[in-house]
Amino acid sequence: MLEWLKEPEIHFPDQLQHAGFEHGVCVGQIQAKAGLTQSTVSEYLSILQRAGFIEAKRVGQWTYYKRNEGAFEALSKLIQTNL
Amino acid sequence: MLEWLKEPEIHFPDQLQHAGFEHGVCVGQIQAKAGLTQSTVSEYLSILQRAGFIEAKRVGQWTYYKRNEGAFEALSKLIQTNL
DNA sequence: TTGGCATATCGGGAAAAGTCGATATCTTTG
DNA sequence: CAAAGATATCGACTTTTCCCGATATGCCAA
């Protein structure tokens, strides 16, 4: 999922017709591609959010998730220096 | 354990009297400090080895483990570029 | 305000990981 | 080669993680 969110226009072409990618990709799109249930995907995304790897933006009835690139940079640096 | 192995002379002063740290730290030293059973520590170390994070060197009846810094560098870069 | 759609939360069952004791293997020493 | 010490492997049990269906919540449109 994290890799998918790196290039939304490539992995979620369906969403382009409805909304842009400014706020990220909505849960339904990710769920469809993941082939897991709605509840599983929702929970997974919320875990990634709490961990800081993605950010959520509620717009109407949809929740859009997008990557927080800073977190990946920080993790990379953490491994370099602390591990 | 990975952090301990970064500075063996600090975290495993006992071993200095018997052997150096050229080949790393032996299982018994790590086990004593970890407070887990011998079998658990041995299995854990072998997993880390298979994953490439540490290297094993058998010397007599002892097996010494030391960090493979390249693996950490590679992981850090992998997160930077692929994730 | 009610019905429908998108998402979130909850509780439970299945799968995986962690940990242990017992035992096997390997190595050195007598 | 037998005994003893260090490490590795095995089987079982416990804990954690994964994933689901059911249900709750939030939002929009009629």
B31: pLDDT confidence band, cut at 50, 70 and 90? very high
CB < 8 Å from A in window 34-73 of B: 72-73
One-letter amino acid for residue A41 of the chain = V
Nearest CA distance, B38 vs chain A (angstrom): 24
Q: What is the mean pLDDT of chain A?
A: 95
Percent of chain A with pLDDT over 70: 100
pLDDT at B83: 80
Q: What is the mean pLDDT of chain B?
A: 95
Our count of domains for chain A comes to 1
pLDDT in tens, A8-55: 999 999 998 888 899 999 999 999 999 999 999 999 999 999 999 999
CA B57 – CA B64 distance, rounded (Å): 5
Give B69's contacts (C-beta < 8 A, 6+ positions apart): none
- Protein residues in reach of strand C (CB < 7 A): A 26-28, 31, 38-39, 42-43, 45-46, 56, 61-63; B 36-40, 43-44, 47, 58, 60-61
CATH label of the domain that carries residue B78: 1.10.10.10
Cβ(B7)–Cβ(B14) below 8 Å? no
Give the SS3 label for residue A68: coil
- Compute the Cα dihedral for B83, A75, B27, B25 and give only its sign: positive
Task: Name the β-bridge partners of B66.
Answer: B55
Give B37's contacts (C-beta < 8 A, 6+ positions apart): B31
B19: pLDDT confidence band, cut at 50, 70 and 90? confident
pLDDT in tens, A45-71: 999 999 999 999 999 999 999 999 999
DSSP state of A53: S
Give the SS3 label for residue A57: strand
CA A82 – CA B7 distance, rounded (Å): 12
